[in-house]
Amino acid sequence: MDINRPKLSFNCIGDASRVQLHRKQQLIAEITEMIHVASLIHDDILDDAKTRRGVGSLNFVVGNKLAVLAGDFLLFRALGALASLKNTEVVSLLVTAFDNLVTGETMQMAATVEQRCSMEYYMQKTYYKTASLVSNSCKAMALLSDQTPEVATLAFEYGKNLGLAYQFIDDILDFTGTSASLGKGSLSDIRQGIVTAPILFAMEEFPQLKAVIEQGFDNFANIDTALEYLWKSHGIQRTKELATKHANLAAAAIDSLPESSSLDVWKSRQALINLTQILTTRNK
Ligand code: FPP
Ligand code: MG
Ligand code: MG
User: What Å distances lie between residue 33 and 38, 92, 221, 264, CA to CA?
Assistant: 8, 17, 39, 24
Tell me the Ramachandran region of residue 48: left when phi exceeds 0, alpha when psi lies from -120 to 50, beta otherwise: left
End-to-end CA distance of the chain: 32
Q: Is the ipTM of this complex over 0.85?
A: yes
Which atom of ligand 1 has the smallest separation from the CA of 46? 10
Q: Choose one of 96, 101, 164, 170 to mutate for the ligand 1 pocket test, by most ligand atoms within 8 angstroms of C-beta.
A: 101
CA distance 112 to 130: 21
- Virtual torsion, Cα 137, 143, 145, 150, nearest 10 deg: 110
Q: Which residues surround ligand 2, an ion (CB under 5 A)?
A: 43, 47
> CA-CA distance, 44 to 221, in Å (whole number)?
25
Give 52 Cα–ligand 1 centroid separation in angstroms. Answer: 12
Ligand number nearest to the C-alpha of 101 = 1
Query: Atom 15 in ligand 1: which residue has the minimum CA distance?
Result: 39
* pLDDT recorded at residue 8: 42
Centre of ligand 1 from the C-alpha of residue 102, in Å: 9
For the chain, list residues with pLDDT below 70. 1-13
Centroid of ligand 3 to alpha carbon of 39 (angstroms):
9
Widest CA span of the chain, in angstroms? 65
Q: What is the pLDDT of residue 207?
A: 96
As beta bridge partners, residue 170 has none
Ligand 3 center to 159 CA (angstroms): 21
Q: What is the pTM of this model?
A: 0.90
> Which ligand is in closest contact with the Cα of 189?
1
User: What is the number of the ligand closest to the CA of 67?
Assistant: 1
Residue 191 main-chain phi, psi, to 5 deg: -60, -30
Amino acid at 159: G
Opening angle at CA 124, ends 279 and 164, nearest 5:
5
Question: In sequence order, which residues have a C-beta less than 8 Å from that of residue 236 and are 6 or more positions away?
Answer: 172, 175, 176, 198, 230
Mutate to test the pocket of ligand 1, among 43, 125, 132, 164 (most ligand atoms within 8 A of CB): 43
Ligand nearest to the CA of 42: 1
Q: What is the Cα gyration radius of the chain?
A: 21
142-195 pLDDT, tens digit per residue, is: 999 999 999 999 999 999 999 999 999 999 999 998 777 777 777 889 988 999
CA–CA distances in Å: residue 18 to residues 11, 24, 72, 269, 272 = 9, 10, 33, 18, 20
Which residue has its alpha carbon closest to ligand 1 atom 14? 39
Q: Spell out the residues 6+ positions from residue 150 whose beta carbon is closer than 8 angstroms to its own.
A: none
Closest C-alpha to ligand 1, atom 23? 40
Q: Are strands 55-56 and 51-52 parallel, antiparallel or unpaired?
A: antiparallel
Residues lining ligand 1, Cβ inside 6 A: 35, 38-39, 42-43, 46-47, 49, 71, 75, 98, 101-102, 105, 129-130, 184, 188
Burial of 210 (0-12, 13-18, 19+ CB in 10 A): middle
